[in-house]
Amino acid sequence: MFSNLRKFGVNHKKISILHISNMCCCKIKASLKRLKPYVPLGRSYSSLPGLVGNDIKSLHSVISPPIAKIRNIGIMAHIDAGKTTTTERILYYSGYTRSLGDVDDGDTVTDFMAQERERGITIQSAAVTFDWKGYRVNLIDTPGHVDFTLEVERCLRVLDGAVAVFDASAGVEAQTLTVWRQADKHKIPRICFLNKMDKTGASFKYAVESIREKLKAKPLLLQLPLGEGKAFKGVVDVVSKEKLLWNHPSEDGKDFERKPLLETSDAELLKETAEARNDLIEQVADLDDEFAGLVLGEFSENFDLLPTEKLQAAIHRVTLAQTAVPVLCGSALKNKGVQPLLDAITMYLPSPEDRNYEFLQWYKGDLCALAFKVLHDKQRGPLVFMRIYSGMIKPQSAIYNINGNCTERVSRLLLPFADQHIEIPSLTAGNIALTVGLKHTATGDTIASSKSSALAAARRAEREGEKQHRQNSEAERLLLAGVEIPEPVFFCTIEPPSVARQPDLDYALKCLQREDPSLKVKLDPDSGQTVLCGMGELHIEIIHDRIKREYGLETYLGPLQVAYRETILNAVRATDTLDRTLGDKRHLVTVELEVKPIETSSVTPVIKYAPSVSEDLPKVSQEAIENGIHSACLQGPLLGSPIQDVAITLHSLIIHPGTSTTMISACVSRCIQKALKKADKQVLEPLMNLEVTVMGDYLSPVLADLAQRRGTIQEIQTRQENKIVTGFVPLAEIMGYSTVLRTLTSGSATFALELCNYQAMNPQDQATLLGRRSGLNQVL
């Protein structure tokens, strides 16, 4: 581990011990993989199909494919399942790259950010556009690391369909479960690709069973593998009863043999395939009435006569309805099975018009788009990736940002093609566009053609909402993103190299926040230092790295700290009076309130008013009171952490005429602080769901170590020769875990972490933490 990290350190000239330990997060393999220096891409790309020189006319036919022929697809998976390798093969076979990229060599197209190449993990989702057999495929590569779950969810929002890639030797892994649930939430039709069929331990049967059991999905086996592990040589197409053989393993896999199974030469295999096909037909017939009619009617006697196209059409419908998932298999690394996967993407996953987006009716053909990714390009400024749901975007035109309530101008429109971008004159519904010139649009913003168009859409949405008795606000109805941004769990201070460079740091952080809404930046009110808050150690490390690389700023990070929360254990009342004369004006407020514990798991306090207060309370005073409450709850009395699980009731409020709203807020805030100080207090710490995959031989030391980390084991399952340990562990105990786990297991274990909730610390641990924070206890 450390030798790899040192390599990283050398590459970056200077790297602190802190960063080395920060790097050691979450997924051992992720950090260990391929820390390589940045090498500019020496890849060769093909030009767009049908594009002769820069001929705009031929370009027009290329950029406006019929909507039925568009597929907006994402690839999702657990880390290391092979998303990037599969994407690389897809780009190669579709003709967009002329050579094969390799994650292990750090020269893939989608991992185009420098850090991605160095660390070998996919941080940013890059949208890539290519064609396959007359279809336009926009492919978004989603990251698999737990720190970037938000990024995955945001990308899912703009997809019409997804391919879930699995490591066939591991089946369904922790991160896939998370992403699968997110895809369920956004109702995204999926197909499964069991990758790594060439790997020792690969098991088609096991992986299919784990899809059935863990994902609670109905797998439709469209293929059977020909051999497993080293013997894997191709697949059988169950639908067409053909075998597909990649006979030359050393070659690029472009050429393969597709032969019908024959009674004479493949009797056994044909029998097995015919059985699998009959099972498939029955399964699909159970889920699709139209197909059931066909099967029970003219083909009931002999399923063999059932035309392939009819079965394919029914599988398409069932996939769209999400009542089952087609399953395919292959080995991206060994160049086997990727072309049939591409066929399946075009055949079974939906086009934009197959998806029923409710909000489209409100726009009536006007522009409606979602900005799902912002990148900062040194030459061109911010580049905003947009999914267009309806209408059209043109360069040199104005657009209206609903979230930002501002009008902006698109200067240029580009077709995203990894790190090549091709200028285009317009882009229509269903497509993914890359816009240049938008100065304020951030990731997650909804775009309309103009303010009046957005207002008209809002009115239509309101009428619809009234019909269905929905209570959403105008903005909520129109905003498409709907991605909840989780609260950060880690924070640390960040300092520029000199005070003079603070504005540069502020600018860099502002840009990075536009790209990544899960990054929070705040000012420490006591020290005046800038504080970075992120979703994980790796997240903060990457932000630090990008500031150096992209903005040329060598910044210094303070120690990484866990974001604790606080709560109270009993109800308390407090009264406070603020009496201040400023100039000739007297400001006088008296407030009496009660703070009591409730269970919400939220840092937003529940606010109540006693009837005597709520009568005749002017709106401005109410706003001032609530501002005071919210600001007081941001900093608890124990650690200065946010207060969770409280309800605040205002019992009395006396305001002297002429008192400013600022003074009302200040008095309420002070009174709450007073009440919180009187209450019995409790520190809450982030508790993580942990899944460790470890060889059986190393199980005991891993369990012993987890016990020392205050971990709770929930379950230990056996998966082939591995043990899968699931449980909970406090986040504070898991920093730098990857280094320890590696030492304990000779590098053979992997782990995944996810925030579960905030739990009360026991009195002893709390006392130790408070002692450490106040400097009284320096031992730990």
Tell me whether residue 670 or residue 742 sits nearer to ligand GTP (CB atom): 742
Query: Strand pairing partners for 403?
Result: none
For 683, left (φ over 0), alpha (ψ -120 to 50), or beta?
A: beta
Per CB under 6 A, which of residues 162..221 are in contact with ligand GTP?
Answer: 195-196, 198-199
Tell me whether residue 538 or residue 683 sits nearer to ligand GTP (CB atom): 538
- Number of residues located near ligand GTP, criterion CB under 6 A: 22
Tell me whether residue 333 or residue 371 sits nearer to ligand GTP (CB atom): 333
**Is the alpha carbon torsion for 203, 205, 209, 211 positive or negative?**
positive
Report whether 391 contacts 368 (CB < 8 A). Answer: yes
CA distance 316 to 368: 27
Query: Rg of the chain's alpha carbons, rounded to an integer?
Result: 29
Candidates 84, 138, 210, 682; binder of ligand GTP (CB under 6 A) is 84
Tell me whether residue 30 or residue 270 sits nearer to ligand GTP (CB atom): 30
Backbone angles phi, psi at 140, to 5 degrees: -110, 120
- CB atoms closer than 10 angstroms to residue 83: 27
79 contacts ligand GTP (rule: CB under 6 A): yes
The minimum distance between CB 748 and ligand GTP, in angstroms, equals 15
The token pair at 443 is 């990731």
Pairing status of strand 392-393 against strand 427-428: antiparallel
The minimum distance between CB 121 and ligand GTP, in angstroms, equals 4
Q: DSSP label at 271?
A: H
The token pair at 385 is 């990736």
Per CB under 6 A, which of residues 111..130 are in contact with ligand GTP?
Answer: 121-122
Candidates 24, 35, 81, 158; binder of ligand GTP (CB under 6 A) is 81
With CB under 6 A as the contact rule, which of the stretches 79-87, 459-467, 690-698, 746-754 interacts with ligand GTP? 79-87
From residue 393 to residue 432, the character string flagging contacts with ligand GTP as x (rule: CB under 6 A) and all else as - is: ----------------------------------------
With CB under 6 A as the contact rule, which of the stretches 72-80, 422-430, 620-628, 712-720 interacts with ligand GTP? 72-80
Nearest-5° Cα angle at 483, 478 to 489 = 145
The token pair at 259 is 């032969």
The minimum distance between CB 257 and ligand GTP, in angstroms, equals 20
From residue 324 to residue 363, the character string flagging contacts with ligand GTP as x (rule: CB under 6 A) and all else as - is: -------xxxx-----------------------------
Spell out the alpha helix ranges (H) of 433-558.
451-467, 474-478, 502-515, 537-551
Question: What's the number of CA atoms in the CB half-sphere (13 Å) around residue 770?
Answer: 18
Per CB under 6 A, which of residues 29..68 are in contact with ligand GTP?
Answer: 30
The minimum distance between CB 35 and ligand GTP, in angstroms, equals 13
243 contacts ligand GTP (rule: CB under 6 A): no
Candidates 9, 65, 74, 82; binder of ligand GTP (CB under 6 A) is 82
CA distance 548 to 178: 32
Report whether 395 contacts 413 (CB < 8 A). Answer: yes
Candidates 77, 207, 374, 383; binder of ligand GTP (CB under 6 A) is 77
- List residues forming the annotated binding site for GTP: 77-84, 141-145, 195-198
Tell me whether residue 136 or residue 196 sits nearer to ligand GTP (CB atom): 196
For 485, left (φ over 0), alpha (ψ -120 to 50), or beta?
A: beta
Candidates 9, 65, 101, 144; binder of ligand GTP (CB under 6 A) is 144
For 601, left (φ over 0), alpha (ψ -120 to 50), or beta?
A: left
94 contacts ligand GTP (rule: CB under 6 A): no
83 contacts ligand GTP (rule: CB under 6 A): yes
The footprint of ligand GTP (CB under 6 A) covers 30, 77, 79-85, 103-104, 121-122, 144, 195-196, 198-199, 331-334
